[in-house]
Structure 1
Amino acid sequence: MALPNLEAQLKTVSEAAQNFVDSYYEALNKRRDTSAFYATTSPKLTAAGVVPDISINGHVLGPDAKTARDLLVDSRGPNVHYEVGSFDAHPVNVNYAVGADAVNNTGSNLSSRNERISFAVQVSGAVKYGKSGEDGFLEQAFTEAWLLVPHWEAQGPKAPRGLRRWVVVSQNFRAL
């Protein structure tokens, strides 16, 4: 099995990271459920023992995406808004195979379409609590480090609609 070349890896990771960052922070800002972004949505990953490792400001939450969203948004009042200033992404493992079948549901090799890549994403930005110009308004810088792996059930042309192609196995948020 040939591994994807560096250019293909970077293109895949760049596009996947852009999609993830845009979608995740939009979901946070609109107070939507974020559980679909985490590895617990993949039966193949959870059967292989892969669960998200979530840490918010040094508090280890384990795999509980709802508690993470509550801490990042709901517990901070009605007006919480995340603005991403920048992000960077890098391939970690171009042949990630934990929980994967040897072939996808079409019989083709997953790695030939760069679908086995796991990658790290580093995000920095500002989180705003309250409304600008009002008492209690606070703006803080934040950084967030992510590790995403393939969501096997979302790969291939016959995959169910609406699944995230890559899911979170590690999240480390820190407000500065």
Structure 2
Amino acid sequence: MTALNVDVATRVSTDAAERFVESYYPALQNARSTLASYYVAPSAMPDGKPIPAIVFNGNIIQTAADFQAMFENQMPPVFYDVQCYDCQVLNPSLVTAGAQTAPPESGKNMTILLMVSGYIRFGELRDGPIRGFSETIVLAPNPEAAAIKGRGKSVKGWLIQSQNFRMVV
């Protein structure tokens, strides 16, 4: 088995984080009907805890579909202003049972810890109050992306496995 090159891991994780941030936060604002597609397929960890694990401001959301429904039906218009983000490789060689994986040297079998912070404004007023937010996300490779060579932009390369959003007081 080939070890993952540190330069490759850095490049792949940074690229994944950038693409994710540039896609996900605009979707929260303008494409709420697509939110569930940003999450791994529902499953459970060996201890029975559900995946994806979603916590929004201290509230556990059971499924990605519930998260999407909350944004579509309960949330006012929202504006995210991402100020900064950082990523770290959590697991450089994730192996998913029954899923086709990318070659180990590609760096596309890792999980990535993504920390995002910035400002959020609820409502349509441009001069409305803003609050800080902090979000921690674990991204996992999308097994469908590994199976499709030369994928288009419609297939996301990385999906949310765990998410914890907090407004900052």
TM-score under structure 1 length normalisation: 0.81
**What SS is found at the alignment partner of 2:109?**
coil
CA distance in 2, matches of 1:31, 1:84: 17
Structure 1, gaps ≥5 residues long: none
Match of 1:4 in 2: 4
Match of 2:91 in 1: 93
Within 5 Å, which residues of 2 pair with 1:55-66?
55-62=55-62, 64-66=63-65
- Residue 157 (structure 1) shift: 4.7
Report the number of matched residues.
Answer: 162
Deviations 1:18-44 (A, max 9, x none): 000110001111133211110018xxx
Structure 2, gaps ≥5 residues long: none
Q: Structure 1 residues 91-100 or 16-25, which shifts more?
A: 91-100
Q: Percent identity?
A: 25
TM-score under structure 2 length normalisation: 0.84
Q: 1:127 aligns with which of 120, 124, 133?
A: 120
CA distance in 2, matches of 1:126, 1:164: 25
The answer on 1:67 being equivalent to 2:58 is: no
CA distance in 2, matches of 1:93, 1:111: 12
CA distance in 2, matches of 1:157, 1:55: 31
**What SS is found at the alignment partner of 1:76?**
coil
Match of 1:30 in 2: 30
The answer on 1:115 being equivalent to 2:108 is: yes
**What SS is found at the alignment partner of 1:40?**
coil
Q: Which runs of 4+ in 1 moved over 6 A?
A: 47-50
Match of 1:142 in 2: 133
CA distance in 2, matches of 1:27, 1:66: 14
> Are residues 11 and 158 of structure 1, via their aligned partners in 2, closer, same or farther at CA, if it must alter by over 3 Å?
closer
Match of 2:157 in 1: 165
| Residues 44, 51 of structure 2: 8 Å contact kept | no
